[in-house]
């Protein structure tokens, strides 16, 4: 070990710890920076791709942007005066992560092109294997593997018979020209809506296949002027003030609203969305087609300032008739109509219960992740799984998702994990994981609280598990922050 890790003063025999971080996206970069800062130098980040960046590396579709304001969607230790817009585009966000990683010399500990395929706890340590055949033995694993990383392809008859170009929104094929093309988009979630807004002016014809209407909250995406950026550079406290203001607005206006379906703030969100639709869409028939029949924010709220304009362009068409099948020349809807297409975009979302899978994880006494998650993914506070010692997840199952900054979520979780790691480092214990009892009690409380959230108010969404229970953090963000402040060691097995 290099420098003495922070907080180890006075401990008789600090234990050297070796770490593996799985994934070099936002949370993996964070882990590498924070572990290094704490003095832990035996650290490898395994990244399956040849570049870092996670979701911002993989999603490059036209119009991709973060719908969380830029000054909120940033590491607390790396405020960025150079954001171009209130909501910055995806490539700028990817460049931000690359820059932060460079500034903190993170790449030196990343092994690119190394997908961890197996991770087994044997004789008190984790034994990792990668697809390339690398073996590693570590004390602590941090799974920073992201949430939405496995594209979900729709199960529609004939998809493989399409003779044009078809690809998933998260696998955009930039070689395919859009200019002059007849483009179909299946799906109107956050991705589909952003894509429609960005491509309508480029394509000959745009057809959006909408299965369920979405509530869309307006977005005013104002560019920052050079004078404002300069001001941020010279007075960083102004960025902090801006961050604090937005964070409070998000927590009160959104975070606290969605967990109480009957709250005033929740009604305000609904009014805003309804007004947005009715003011923007003048044709009553189209307006009704675009009007959802469930409550706003039940599905993840879509944020867009240009979608309603896009779908009203003369070359755009909203199709609400169900899709019957896909044919060589296009999409056949149930009314018998063939929508002829050159390009078909599948903005159909992600397999949301994968987390670190397909990595095979084997804990104490041969217990596999497949056993532990036979019903569905669960973890104590989203972080620790019983029988999987010294294995911690960032942005794991049932955590705060929704329109939050997942960076702040990961930072809070990491601070919590480090307090557990300190027990290992100080020699107080060699293994630490949540107990079955604590995990079951947490899950029972979580599922009960989830019933009064907006996500349980009656709609189909990726937030719902196989039982229809929201797989999210059902309390306020303040509660999450308080929970992350310090672990309750009574919930853990320390051996
Ligand atoms: P999504 O929200 O899961 O939306 C998938 C869309 O595909 C829905 O409209 C769904 O219809 C439709 N669909 C799926 N299967 C279909 C089928 N067989 N036939 C017809 N339609 C089908 O996926 P997403 O838009 O990629 O967004 C996923 C999440 O990624 C978001 O909720 C958000 O958390 C994140 N995201 C964030 C941003 C951002 O700005 N920060 C941008 C993009 C994505 P139904 O509604 O009827 O199920």
**pLDDT (mean) for 369-381:** 97
CB 26 within 8 A of CB 406: yes
Query: Does the Cβ of 154 fall within 6 Å of ligand 1?
Result: yes
**pLDDT (mean) for 440-461:** 96
Q: Is the pLDDT of residue 127 over 80?
A: yes
Ligand 1 centre and the CA of 194: distance in Å?
A: 11
Residue nearest to atom 1 of ligand 1 (CA): 349
Query: Does the Cβ of 191 fall within 6 Å of ligand 1?
Result: yes
Helical H segments across 284-334, by residue range? 284-289, 307-311
Query: Does the Cβ of 348 fall within 6 Å of ligand 1?
Result: yes
Q: Which uninterrupted H or E stretch holds 209? A: strand 205-209
Which of 178-182, 242-246, 251-255, 484-488 shows the lowest mean pLDDT across its residues? 251-255
Pocket test for ligand 1, best of 349, 395, 403, 459 (most atoms within 8 A of CB): 349
Query: Does the Cβ of 188 fall within 6 Å of ligand 1?
Result: yes
Residue 20, number of CB atoms within 10 A of its CB: 23
The pLDDT assigned to 6 comes to 47
The pLDDT assigned to 403 comes to 60
10/229: higher pLDDT: 229
- As a whole-number percent, the residues of the chain with pLDDT over 70 amount to 97
Residue nearest to atom 20 of ligand 1 (CA): 211
The dihedrals phi and psi of 110, each to the nearest 5 degrees, come to: -95, 135
The CA radius of gyration of the chain, in Å to the nearest whole number, is 23
Task: Kindly report the length of the chain.
Answer: 495
Pocket test for ligand 1, best of 151, 189, 319, 332 (most atoms within 8 A of CB): 189
Residue nearest to atom 46 of ligand 1 (CA): 212
Ligand 1 centre and the CA of 303: distance in Å?
A: 13
**pLDDT (mean) for 232-260:** 92
Q: Is the pLDDT of residue 250 over 90?
A: no
Ligand 1 centre and the CA of 110: distance in Å?
A: 31
Task: Say how far apart CA 86 and CA 259 lie, in whole Å.
Answer: 26
- Cα distances from 226 to residues 46, 68, 492, in angstroms, run 38, 21, 51
Q: Is the pLDDT of residue 213 over 50?
A: yes
Task: Say how far apart CA 272 and CA 400 lie, in whole Å.
Answer: 23
Task: Say how far apart CA 471 and CA 453 lie, in whole Å.
Answer: 11
Query: Does the Cβ of 196 fall within 6 Å of ligand 1?
Result: no
Ligand 1 centre and the CA of 392: distance in Å?
A: 28
Residue nearest to atom 35 of ligand 1 (CA): 190
Q: Is the pLDDT of residue 249 over 60?
A: yes
**pLDDT (mean) for 226-232:** 98
Residue nearest to atom 17 of ligand 1 (CA): 154
How confident is residue 3, by pLDDT bands cut at 50, 70 and 90?
A: very low
Which of 146-150, 341-345, 485-489 shows the lowest mean pLDDT across its residues? 146-150
Query: Does the Cβ of 108 fall within 6 Å of ligand 1?
Result: no
- Cα distances from 355 to residues 22, 28, 219, 366, 431, in angstroms, run 11, 14, 30, 20, 23
Residue nearest to atom 6 of ligand 1 (CA): 187
**pLDDT (mean) for 105-122:** 98
Number of alpha helices (DSSP H) and beta strands (DSSP E) in the chain: 14, 21
Please report the atom of ligand 1 found closest to the CA of residue 190: 25
Peptide bond into 157 cis (omega under 30): no
The pLDDT assigned to 450 comes to 95
The pLDDT assigned to 110 comes to 98
Residue nearest to atom 32 of ligand 1 (CA): 300
Query: Does the Cβ of 63 fall within 6 Å of ligand 1?
Result: no
Ligand 1 centre and the CA of 393: distance in Å?
A: 24
**pLDDT (mean) for 364-370:** 96
Ligand 1 centre and the CA of 308: distance in Å?
A: 17
**pLDDT (mean) for 129-152:** 97
CB 336 within 8 A of CB 251: no
Tokens of 159: 């998809």
pTM of the shown model: 0.95
Query: Does the Cβ of 462 fall within 6 Å of ligand 1?
Result: yes
Q: Is the pLDDT of residue 445 over 90?
A: yes
Q: Which residues contact 426 (CB under 8 A, 6 or more apart)?
A: 8, 11, 14, 15
Query: Does the Cβ of 32 fall within 6 Å of ligand 1?
Result: no
Ligand 1 centre and the CA of 374: distance in Å?
A: 25
Residue nearest to atom 36 of ligand 1 (CA): 190
Ligand 1 centre and the CA of 22: distance in Å?
A: 26
Residue 361: beta bridge partners? 119
- Cα distances from 1 to residues 41, 180, 391, 430, 471, in angstroms, run 6, 59, 20, 17, 39
Ligand 1 centre and the CA of 272: distance in Å?
A: 21
At 4-51, the pLDDT tens digits run 454 444 445 789 999 999 999 999 999 999 999 999 999 999 999 999
At 184-193, the pLDDT tens digits run 999 999 999 9
């Amino acid at each position: 070990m290099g420098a003495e890790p922070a907080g180890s003063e006075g401990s008789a025999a600090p234990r050297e710890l070796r770490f593996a971080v799985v994934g070099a996206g936002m949370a993996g970069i964070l882990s590498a920076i924070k572990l290094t800062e704490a003095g832990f130098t035996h650290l490898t980040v395994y990244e399956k791709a040849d570049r870092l960046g996670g979701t911002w590396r993989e999603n490059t579709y036209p119009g991709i942007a973060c719908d969380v304001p830029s000054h909120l969607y940033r590491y607390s230790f790396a405020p960025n005066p150079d954001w171009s817009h209130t909501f910055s585009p995806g490539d700028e966000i990817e460049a931000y992560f690359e820059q932060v990683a460079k500034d903190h010399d993170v790449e030196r500990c990343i092994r690119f092109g190394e997908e961890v395929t197996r991770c087994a706890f044997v004789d008190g340590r984790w034994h990792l294997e990668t697809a390339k055949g690398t073996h590693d033995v570590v004390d602590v694993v941090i799974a920073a593997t992201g949430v939405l990383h496995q594209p979900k392809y729709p199960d529609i008859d004939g998809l493989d018979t399409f003779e044009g170009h078809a690809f998933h929104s998260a696998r955009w094929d930039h070689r395919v020209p859009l200019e002059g093309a007849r483009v179909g988009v299946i799906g109107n979630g956050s991705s589909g809506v952003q894509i429609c807004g960005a491509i309508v002016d480029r394509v000959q014809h745009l057809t959006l296949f909408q299965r369920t209407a979405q509530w869309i909250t307006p977005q005013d995406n104002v560019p920052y002027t050079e004078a404002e950026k300069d001001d941020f550079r010279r007075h960083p406290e102004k960025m902090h003030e801006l961050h604090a203001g937005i964070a409070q607005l998000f927590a009160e206006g959104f975070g606290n609203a969605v967990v109480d379906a009957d709250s005033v703030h929740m009604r305000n969100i609904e009014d805003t969305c309804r007004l947005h639709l009715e003011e923007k869409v003048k044709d009553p028939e189209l307006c009704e087609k675009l009007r959802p029949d469930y409550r706003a924010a039940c599905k993840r709220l879509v944020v867009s300032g240009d979608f309603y304009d896009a779908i009203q362009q003369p070359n755009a068409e909203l199709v609400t008739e169900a899709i019957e099948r896909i044919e060589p020349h296009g999409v056949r809807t149930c009314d018998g109509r063939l929508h002829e297409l050159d390009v078909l975009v599948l903005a159909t979302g992600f397999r949301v219960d994968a987390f670190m899978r397909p990595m095979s994880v084997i804990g104490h006494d041969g217990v596999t992740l497949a056993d532990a998650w036979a019903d569905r993914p669960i973890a104590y506070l989203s972080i620790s799984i019983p029988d999987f010692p010294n294995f911690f997840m960032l942005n794991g199952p049932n955590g705060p998702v929704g329109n939050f900054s997942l960076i702040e979520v990961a930072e809070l979780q990491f601070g919590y994990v480090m307090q557990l790691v300190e027990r290992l480092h100080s020699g107080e214990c060699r293994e630490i994981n949540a107990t079955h009892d604590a995990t079951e009690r947490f899950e029972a409380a979580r599922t009960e609280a989830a019933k009064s959230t907006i996500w349980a108010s009656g709609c189909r969404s990726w937030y719902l598990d196989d039982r229809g229970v929201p797989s999210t953090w059902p309390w306020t963000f303040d509660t999450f922050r308080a929970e992350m402040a310090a672990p309750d060691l009574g919930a853990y097995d320390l051996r």
